[in-house]
Structure 1
Amino acid sequence: MSAKAKHEDPTASERLARKPYERELLRLQNELVKLQEWVRAEGARLVVVFEGRDAAGKGGAIKRVTEYLNPRIARVAALPAPTERQRTQWYFQRYVEQLPAAGEIVLFDRSWYNRAGVEKVMGFCTPEEYWQFLHQCPTFERMLIEAGILLRKYWFSVSDTEQERRFRARLEDPMRRWKLSPMDVESISRWEDYSRAKDEMFVHTDTPDSPWHVVESDDKRRARINMIAHLLSTVPYREVLPPAVDLPARPEPRGYQRPPRDLQTYVPDHAAGLGPDRP
């Protein structure tokens, strides 16, 4: 078996068609809203970690999870590079600041596992810092779980050929070129280094208390459906009926008159120049 063949996604030849994908995605998103309402009502705290290769589809999955959720309840934590001050803090400290309060959901678009991945491979941390992380991480996550936080960890796995295809698509698309960072380019030549780092990370952090769940993501649609369905299956939520809301009758007019339109500045009607609608 060639080096490339062993990385191939076994589902790659069975791409999920758009119609069943959209139908099931909408059903699952409806369930996510129920999950959100249960989290709010029960005062639960849910943390979902999204990790994986560059261009593995983490961002797209997060968008589908949050599409219909209340941003006051469900938020995304995508931290930039640490500041000089943060570099002197306990490594986990800036991530602790992002953890949810009661009734909240936090989705980590990359997380504390940066130390076991990009920092290790690119030399952004010392060997001592790296091994200290692997030693402390299971204890840190056990503390979160013992404190009542629901912790779920997903690793998005993409083949080398599909990753390169996505990189080239970004390079050729002006709307998405910003998504191709120098780190992405570097990851092509360091594929095996990242593979070894991921394997070592799993050895130390794929624990019974806090297991990793691998999402095959060469087919983005299939990956999103599988990840969301799995997340829902791991949380003991139930449907919480919202309080009844009755819209009041609109009161009778009491003499209010709107100011003349020419006293206000309106946005130009750009849409008027688009022409008639066509099928």
Structure 2
Amino acid sequence: MTPKDAAAPHEVSEATGFRTTKLPNRVYEAELYRLHGELGKLQTWIKETGSRVVVVFEGRDAAGKGGTIKRITEYLSPRAARIAALPAPTEREKTQWYFQRYIEHLPAAGEMVLFDRSWYNRAGVEKVMGFCTPEQHQRFLRQCPIFEHMLIDDGIHLRKYWFSVSDEVQLERFRKRLHDPLRQWKLSPIDLESITRWEDFSRAKDEMMVHTDTPLAPWHHVASDSKKQARLNMIHHLLSSLPYDSDLDEHPKVELPKRLPSTGYQRPPIAVSKYVPDWASTLVADPSDPSAPID
């Protein structure tokens, strides 16, 4: 019986209607491994055809965008698949045309760029937090479809994903970050504001969708109450939306060359080099030491 044939437990949120599936780890890891292989083939296609791919990741804070981006790029070349996560604009950038600082991060031939948040900041956090004027916000809503049309008209493959998370799950993830020293950096003042301004962000998102969910550059929503489910669904959709050859061998067959015979060259002694101290060995008891504890 395959994982598709097996009955999987499902849960549906009463608040959002999201349907989440409790994926067994073995099923998740196996499918993610397969998708990583397909992403390698996608990378080969992008490089060989000189294609340009832009993937926009937007959504609520703690919706799982970063984790999905990490899985996509995990085994890809950083020279072919880049992440663009721009900080707050400088004083100079604030005086530029709004889209200007994003343009320099667009891909050249043979590249894919994943925007971890993008020009849509203006329709979301900038709108809600008052970082832009109402006139700037309305100008963005008018110009954005034209800007994206220009990208597509120039041959760029543009994909836009909105990660949706319910308020209950978002709050639960914030609480985990609060007590996890490895994730506390993810709790920015904006993240905390998103808790008290849930409806404001919802209203801004809905208005944004009315203007920017176009036939040429549609939004694709990713239900992300289950991070594993969201990652698999998003990566599978991205692959299915691009015309790469799934039957393509990711890499040509390679044979390792034989080492050439030694010419008698003598290397300097190890003692002349400064090596990093062997900290790792201090974490394990020496088995020759009679006083060492026995596991």
Q: TM-score range by the shorter chain?
A: over 0.9
CA distance in 2, matches of 1:199, 1:15: 29
What TM-score, normalized to structure 2? Answer: 0.89
CA distance in 1, matches of 2:19, 2:129: 30
The SS at the match of 2:15 is helix
Which residue identity is paired with 2:179? E
The SS at the match of 2:78 is coil
Partner residue, 2:9: none
Partner residue, 1:250: 259
Aligned pair 1:9/2:18, yes or no?
A: yes
Q: How does 1:1-279 map to 2 (within 5 A)?
A: 5-7=14-16, 9-11=18-20, 14-238=21-245, 239-241=247-249, 242-243=251-252, 245-275=254-284
CA distance in 1, matches of 2:121, 2:200: 14
Question: What is the number of residues matched between the two proteins?
Answer: 274
What TM-score, normalized to structure 1? Answer: 0.94
CA distance in 2, matches of 1:245, 1:224: 32
CA RMSD of aligned residues (A): 1.7
CA distance in 2, matches of 1:15, 1:248: 47
- Contact 1:7–1:160, Cα closer than 8 Å, also in 2: no
Superimposed CA distance per residue, residues 135-190 of structure 1 (whole angstroms, 9 cap, x where no aligned partner)? 00001001100000000000000000000000010000011101110100010000
CA distance in 2, matches of 1:144, 1:110: 17
- Contact 1:45–1:103, Cα closer than 8 Å, also in 2: yes
- Give 1 or 2 for the bigger CA radius of gyration: 2
CA distance in 1, matches of 2:135, 2:164: 28
CA distance in 2, matches of 1:256, 1:79: 49
**Aligned-residue offset at 1:8:** 5.5
The SS at the match of 2:123 is coil
- Contact 1:16–1:219, Cα closer than 8 Å, also in 2: no
Which residue identity is paired with 2:180? D
Superimposed CA distance per residue, residues 113-150 of structure 1 (whole angstroms, 9 cap, x where no aligned partner)? 00000000000000000000000000100110000000
The SS at the match of 1:161 is helix
The SS at the match of 1:115 is helix
Structure 2: runs of 5+ lacking an equivalent? 1-12, 288-293
Which residue identity is paired with 2:203? R
CA distance in 2, matches of 1:149, 1:108: 14
CA distance in 2, matches of 1:223, 1:240: 26
The SS at the match of 1:155 is strand
**Aligned-residue offset at 1:88:** 0.5
Which residue identity is paired with 1:252? P
Instruction: Report percent identity of matched pairs.
Output: 66
CA distance in 2, matches of 1:190, 1:5: 21
**Aligned-residue offset at 1:5:** 4.0
- Contact 1:8–1:159, Cα closer than 8 Å, also in 2: no
